[in-house]
Structure 1
Amino acid sequence: MNTSTSPSGSANAPDAPVRLGALVPLTRPGWVGAGRHLLAGLELAVREVNDTGGIGGRPLELVVRDTAADPERAAAAVDELAGLGVAALAGEYHSVVARAAAARADALRVPYLCSSAVLDALTDEPTEWVARLAPAQSRGWRVYADLLLGLGHRRIAVVTQPSVYWATGTRVLRDHVTPRGGTVVELDANGHTPEALCEALVGHGATALLLLVGHPQPAVPFVRAVRSDPRLAELLVGAPAGQPEFAEWAGLLGGDGAGIPFLRYLPEHLGPLGERVGKELAERLGEEPSFVAFEGWDTVTVLAEALRVHGTDRSAVAAAWPHVTVEGTRGPIRFSRTPGIGVWQWTWSPVQVADRDPAEPGRFRVLRTG
């Protein structure tokens, strides 16, 4: 897929567009709902940049590539976009895909601002070329674990599929709850039917089940099975990766999808900028914007500031990470180095644990902040 927000022109012309490459999951098996929200935020911000003069009088152009949650496809897209002369790369939702994109961007020396992926080890080695807006997984998932512990859950089950993202999340949870008297038991999603999962949960005496699996399959059948089993009426079901944030979840599960805590990256209250952008995103999407849409808007806004102030040369953009300060939709954005993380990180991005209110599934409740 290739979409642009302004006409293309000669790359050497003084009024030629400044191109940004955007990596977005827009088709299955990618999380299409998240990709749609991410793209809406990216596109809205590009339009606003161009409405206010672009980059030194040059229009900003978004060149979009669909990653479809495929790391190899994402790496190939980085190669293609680099060849097209993009000044920087933006986007991606899936952590494993973003990791492949970050590695290739680092190798090609193309600055990449990752919008949503949270995997701590986004790159194997420290790099000056990659920055990230989303909080690191270790931070967010510890906040989530604190919620479980605060609610009295000590026997936690995770049903999981093979993935470095799920494996890392499980390790964060175990490392956090075990010293505090909790246990984490892993159940293989590929080895359990929904009915067998219920039997295993009863057998382990689990009081909480976390869905570390794909959406809608097998997450939705697992939720339906657990909700319909009277033996598990008191079981807390959780989805730390954020599935219940999206309208598709509520559409598929209705009331069964409520009361399932998930992570999202929003402040407790949006400021005037966030409120204004949120209204425009809602009009564009035809539904309430998720945190992913705000991440998209913030990504382009950060890159536009770097391009305006520091120039469109790739090395200048990469050198700008520690110097950029931008008012984002979710608070002031600044980048710093975080111990154990090899990319430039917005260290204080907001973290919430929320759920859909069982009494009103269209309304979200904030359960914990961190």
Structure 2
Amino acid sequence: MVWALLFAMGMSGCTAWTAPDLAPTPTDSGPIRIGIVTPISGSLARFGQAHLQGYDIALQEINAAGGVLGRPLKLIFEDDESAPEQAAAAVEKLATEDQVPLIIGAYSSSATLLAAGMAERFQVPLIVPTAAADEITRQGYRWIFRIAAPSQIYTQTILDFMDQIDNPKRLAIVFENTGFGTSVAEAAERQARARGIPVAAYHAYRAGSTDFRPLLEEVKASRPDAVLFVSYLDDAVSLMKQSQAVDFNPPMFTAAGAGFGLPDFPQLAGPAAEYTISVTQWTPDAHWPGVPDFSRRFREKYGYLPQYHSAEAYTALHVAADALRRAGTLTRPAVRDALRNTNLTTIFGDIRFDEHGQNHHPMLVTQIINGQFVTVYPTDVAARSAVYPVPTWDQRAEQPTVSEQEP
């Protein structure tokens, strides 16, 4: 399906290749080529597919409206194979052999950290749609622009939510030992302690583990009022099913997006997913201009509502097109300067980059209620109030559904 989508988009799919250091000389005729780096194969391919779907809708939309500078856009795609070193090699190829005026990518934080270093080396603007590690925009780089909120905002938002509901007296943090997981966990511990919230348990685990029961028993023994998971999809499903198996009953199950925020999570975890609370970059019912239309067109084309990765990719391509229009040229310094001065209203909210290349994006909090993601925070955009405290596993069997409540 992924490669079929690539062909349908008319994109060039290339394997990573290390090219000599060439001075960029963008062509002044034909389509304007933009480099895309995302995982089409490997363990993160499902997220690459979500990116592709967002790029697809944005590309068709931009070209149908006349393209950019009177020329259509063409996406030059590089598969990073879910491997950070491949993401770096892909940026080098796009910057030197393909000589694109800008690049969008990658997906994971570990891949994007290497890709950003390579973009800075070759002085090509890189728009980061999704990767959240704080370090990406803390390197003093001048060519990197991130639209998504960084890790510290994930934890700041979830802790603000906890404070509004009932500030926990003891917090447990369980996270995968990846760049994203570690970055979020470190920010959570730092911010919790700054708020006077004791961290009762702090545990890293190897991503892709299958038996979490010993870890969960240890966390359970610490008697937390809330647990924060930082995990991708398979681990998220296992953590919740095994929390039920060991009868782990904190008043609040929370997560820093990732696997807990994917449409597949409630389907795969079943009843164990119910009442989990997750911070997210975007929802299909977000109150930003154009969201209903984008969500409708996405569902018509793909048969389901978009996840935030698709919205980020869609937005990133529109940000790129806007910068190219305002630059009026394909020279990289002009495109970089145009990105610095971005002031664009999108389905992802307003996009403006600070001196570090970071967009200040507000995050949302959702809770799975009756198998559906429901926005419960911030209050001004919430569809309803959160269910708190979470019923115990025994109580859930007696209370299978929750009636509607006003926020």
Give me the TM-score of the superposition, normalised by structure 1. Answer: 0.88
Inter-partner Cα distance in structure 1 for 2:253 and 2:81: 27
Query: Does 2:107 correspond to 1:93?
Result: yes
1:54/1:199 CA distance change after superposition, 3 Å: same
Query: Does 2:185 correspond to 1:173?
Result: no
Query: What is the aligned-residue identity percentage?
Result: 23
Unaligned runs of 5+ in 1: 338-342
1:256/1:209 CA distance change after superposition, 3 Å: same
CA contact (8 A) 1:22 1:62 kept: yes
Pick the aligned partner of 2:344 from 312, 322, 326.
326
Q: Counterparts of 1:332-347 in structure 2 under 5 Å?
A: 332-337=350-355, 343-347=356-360
Query: Does 2:379 correspond to 1:361?
Result: no
Q: Counterparts of 1:177-196 in structure 2 under 5 Å?
A: 177-184=192-199, 185-190=201-206, 193-196=211-214
Pick the aligned partner of 2:240 from 214, 223, 235.
223
The aligned residue for residue 116 of structure 1 is: 130
Residue 320 of structure 1: SS of its match in structure 2?
Answer: helix
Matching residue's letter, 1:225: Q
Larger displacement relative to structure 2 (295-304 or 170-179): 170-179
The aligned residue for residue 126 of structure 1 is: 140
Inter-partner Cα distance in structure 1 for 2:129 and 2:32: 19
The aligned residue for residue 293 of structure 1 is: 310
Q: Counterparts of 1:118-157 in structure 2 under 5 Å?
A: 118-123=132-137, 125-149=139-163, 150-157=165-172
Inter-partner Cα distance in structure 1 for 2:188 and 2:198: 9
Matching residue's letter, 1:158: I
CA contact (8 A) 1:194 1:222 kept: yes
Q: Counterparts of 1:197-216 in structure 2 under 5 Å?
A: 197-216=215-234
Inter-partner Cα distance in structure 2 for 1:7 and 1:214: 28
- Deviation at residue 188 of structure 1 after TM alignment: 3.4
1:305/1:12 CA distance change after superposition, 3 Å: closer
1:188/1:325 CA distance change after superposition, 3 Å: closer
Query: Does 2:85 correspond to 1:68?
Result: no
Inter-partner Cα distance in structure 2 for 1:137 and 1:365: 20
Which deviations, in whole Å up to 9, do the C-alpha atoms of 1:235-294 show, x marking residues without a partner? 532221332322221221122112211121238743442211121122233211112211
Which deviations, in whole Å up to 9, do the C-alpha atoms of 1:196-224 show, x marking residues without a partner? 123202321123222223331x3322211
Residue 353 of structure 1: SS of its match in structure 2?
Answer: strand
Unaligned runs of 5+ in 2: 13-24, 381-407
Q: Which structure has more RCO (C-alpha within 8 Å, separation ≥ 6)?
A: 1
Aligned length: 357
Query: Does 2:264 correspond to 1:254?
Result: no
- Deviation at residue 122 of structure 1 after TM alignment: 0.4
Which deviations, in whole Å up to 9, do the C-alpha atoms of 1:51-73 show, x marking residues without a partner? 11112222101122222332101
Matching residue's letter, 1:80: K
1:125/1:234 CA distance change after superposition, 3 Å: closer
1:35/1:113 CA distance change after superposition, 3 Å: same
1:6/1:194 CA distance change after superposition, 3 Å: closer
CA contact (8 A) 1:237 1:260 kept: yes
